[in-house]
Amino acid sequence: LQPLIAAGRPPSEQVELLAAADLIVRYQAMRGWPARRRTGWICHGLPVELAVERALDPDLSGYDVSTFGVACREAAIKGVQEGEALAGRMAVWPDLDDLFISLEPQTVGVVWGALRRLWNGGQLKRERRVVSVCPRCATPLSSSEAARRTVEAEARTAWVRLPWDGEPDTYLLVWVPVPWMLVGMVALAANPRTQYVLVEVPSGEDLPPDQASARSGRLLVAEAALKHTITGDYRIVRRLSGRSLRGTRYHPPFTFLAAGSSAGQVLLSDEVPLDQGTGLWPVTPAFDAPSLALAQRHGLPVPEMLDDWGALGEAVTHWRGLSPLDAEPLLIEDLQARGLLFDEHTGASQRALCPHCETPLLPLARSVWTLETPGGPWVVSRDRVWGVPLPVWECQQCDNALCVAGLDDLARRTATDLTQIDPHRPAVDRLAVPCEKCGGTMRRVAAVLDASLESAVLSNTSLPQQGTVSLVIGVGEERLGWLGDFAKVAALLRGSQAWEQVLAMPESGPEATWDLERHAPADVLRWAAYTNTTPHQAERDFVRPLWRLIVSLLGSSGVQSERTRGATDELLDRWLAARLHRAATATTHALDAREPGRAAGELAALVSDLAVWYVPRRPGAGREFLKPLTLLLAPFAPHLAEA
């Protein structure tokens, strides 16, 4: 079962996971196949931190790392207590032997041990990458996190002409898919495998003077991109090979960056696209992954143009302090005023939001720790406080680095009593390790671990090392979120397929529609989880009609003589017996296929048929059918079935 988040997640998610797991466990037991449920509590990560920040706001400024960590610990403990109370209220069968709580030191040690294995295999390493960064949370996120929440937003693209040195009234025409990134442009890239053309464009007589001048003159573009770049009349002046452009210079659109010998030049790259744009690509290594790779090959600078909170920094004098998205319209206006904007286009595009705070994400170059997985690099480090500290110590005198294998290993290396080690920030940051290479002092790196990796590691390490899990239950899509993380870690740590069957619970509706107050019947919460509805809908559409049906059947005598029982009554009773058998068969098949929604639909249809068809035609009868109905209800609504 997907571990439960101690704080900061909607209550509906806990209910969905608990209800689904308990339904399957009860069903398995009723069929004579007892099952063990393994799960736990994740007490770290951004959900917990953001819940604490919201609770403390606006008093957060007085908190340092230590006091903020204490607040997170208290919130996590309270969340676990409330979650266990909710599980008891829902009659979820506990399995305490297979329950972990990530807050406990020994559990942190288990995560460290798994990371040491990955470190030894060369899969855990630090590198500079362009990653999705949340300005509000001030930390990089993984690609799966960045893909979880997107919205359609208005996006602008621009075609910018940059003066070409040594050629009067001649411009390099550049397509810029994200205009605000031009503040960090350090070079242009051309494709050496294609032909370029210098074309002369007449001034547009039907355009305003300021626009006409910007859309005329001589422009250099790739010949393959000519037709979809320049519409209207033009004259080809000459052709040039892509290789001949190497080292030629241009005037940058902005002068925020210090001029250097390598800046403002045209570089060559086979990766410059020809199916879109102009065949000339702006090299913005601080914001674009291909640009970063190109800059690293050519020794170009990777400027830091944004501050720690994702706003334009002091170097961007015109718009410092603004978010890049807010500054983009102003930047385009500035280009137009200087006659550099050839054209622009506005259209709908998908924008990634932080799944924790819904802030638009920014692609930024950062030094991050990654884990190599079958699906590609996973950014597992977070620039935060409350998380499992990354167990990597680095020497301050040499380049030596080590990953400790657990709390006992750290205690031995630091000559510290194991029971006195608090494996959380800032306490663990104070522990220095002597360097075995040069005798210097080793300090822990600042990053903490992605709670999603922690969750996937603990879920896998709580299982036998060999074999495949019979059933995995999680919320969301199979390839995103915890289910995808679990599968990746299973391949790394256990070398096996992640599961035989998977139950992917759909994400619930708006959090505000879930009321977990004491007066809400627990079976209503369970039914809402099975059917992906709200408690209000579950109570109105199923639980109340079911209760009225039960009261009606209980009110029947259950005794009728053969003389008063006519042929029609006998036919109705035979129909009801067949209907119950069909519902039992269909529900069994649905639960065997791990489809609680379909199973619940079969039960709802049965209750509707009984209430609408049978009871009005056989008043005072049907009590003998309460037992099979109760057995069908037992794993779904245990309180009601017990009553």
Query: Whats the size of the chain, residue-wise?
Result: 643
CA distance 287 to 467: 43
Q: State what percent of residues in the chain have pLDDT above 70.
A: 94
CA distance 194 to 265: 18
Handedness of CA 421, 424, 430, 432 (dihedral sign): positive
Average pLDDT estimate for 218-244: 91
- Provide the 3-class DSSP secondary structure of residue 616: helix
Handedness of CA 46, 52, 57, 60 (dihedral sign): negative
The Cα-based distances of 475 to 14, 478, 483, 634 in angstroms read 10, 9, 8, 24
Task: Say how many C-beta atoms besides its own lie within 10 A of residue 635's C-beta.
Answer: 23
CA distance 42 to 22: 19
Angle of CA points 247, 250, 252, to nearest 5°: 125
Mean pLDDT of the chain: 90
pLDDT of 561 strictly over 50: no
CA distance 460 to 593: 23
- What's the confidence (pLDDT) of residue 543? 93
pLDDT in tens, 25-34: 999 999 998 7
- What's the confidence (pLDDT) of residue 207? 47
CA distance 121 to 392: 15
pLDDT in tens, 410-437: 999 999 999 999 999 999 999 999 999 9
- Provide the 3-class DSSP secondary structure of residue 527: helix
- What's the confidence (pLDDT) of residue 417? 95
CA distance 577 to 539: 26
pLDDT of 132 strictly over 50: yes
CA 361 and chain centroid, separation: 12
Return the closest-CA partner of residue 383 out of 28, 163, 65, 83. 65
Handedness of CA 592, 594, 597, 600 (dihedral sign): positive
- What's the confidence (pLDDT) of residue 212? 54
| In contact, 210 and 172? CB cutoff 8 Å | no
- What's the confidence (pLDDT) of residue 81? 94
pLDDT of 560 strictly over 70: no
- What's the confidence (pLDDT) of residue 510? 47
Paired sense of beta strands 280-283 and 139-141, if any: unpaired
Name the H helices within 185-323. 209-214, 226-229, 289-298
CA 196 and chain centroid, separation: 42
Whose structure tokens read 């550099």? 340
Average pLDDT estimate for 575-579: 93
Average pLDDT estimate for 521-525: 92
pLDDT of 206 strictly over 60: no
The Cα-based distances of 73 to 6, 86, 318, 320 in angstroms read 10, 20, 43, 37
Amino acid 395 reads C
Amino acid 518 reads R
Return the closest-CA partner of residue 615 out of 561, 548, 559. 548
Name 213's bridge partners.
none
Name 537's bridge partners.
none
pLDDT of 562 strictly over 50: no
Q: Phi, psi at residue 403, to the nearest 5°?
A: -115, 115
- What's the confidence (pLDDT) of residue 410? 97
- Give per-residue burial for 497-524: e unless 16+ CB within 10 Å, then b: ebbeebbbbeebeeeeebeeeeebbbbb
- Give per-residue burial for 578-588: e unless 16+ CB within 10 Å, then b: ebbeebbebbe
- What's the confidence (pLDDT) of residue 477? 84
CA atoms within 13 A on the CB side of 161: 27
Tokens of 387: 């998380």
Average pLDDT estimate for 93-99: 76
60-64, 493-497, 574-578, 636-640: segment of lowest average pLDDT = 60-64
**Residue 437: exposed, middle, or buried by beta-carbon count in 10 A (0-12, 13-18, 19+)?**
middle
Whose structure tokens read 């799944």? 355
Return the closest-CA partner of residue 19 out of 6, 2, 32. 2
CA distance 348 to 530: 36
pLDDT of 119 strictly over 50: yes
Tokens of 362: 């920014």
When mean pLDDT is compared over 91-105, 331-345, 558-572, the highest value belongs to: 331-345
Tokens of 175: 């397509």
Amino acid 223 reads E
DSSP code, position 211: H
Q: Which residue has the higher pLDDT, 496 or 350?
A: 350
9-18, 98-107, 248-257, 509-518: segment of lowest average pLDDT = 509-518
Element (H, E) at 71: helix 65-89
- What's the confidence (pLDDT) of residue 619? 83
- Give per-residue burial for 131-154: e unless 16+ CB within 10 Å, then b: bbbbbbbebbbbebbbbbeeeeee
Name the H helices within 316-431. 324-337, 407-414
| In contact, 362 and 284? CB cutoff 8 Å | no
Q: Phi, psi at residue 430, to the nearest 5°?
A: -80, -10
- What's the confidence (pLDDT) of residue 338? 93
Amino acid 336 reads Q
- What's the confidence (pLDDT) of residue 261? 52
**Residue 596: exposed, middle, or buried by beta-carbon count in 10 A (0-12, 13-18, 19+)?**
buried
- Provide the 3-class DSSP secondary structure of residue 337: helix
Whose structure tokens read 């997107």? 150
CA atoms within 13 A on the CB side of 507: 14
Q: Which residue has the higher pLDDT, 261 or 122?
A: 122
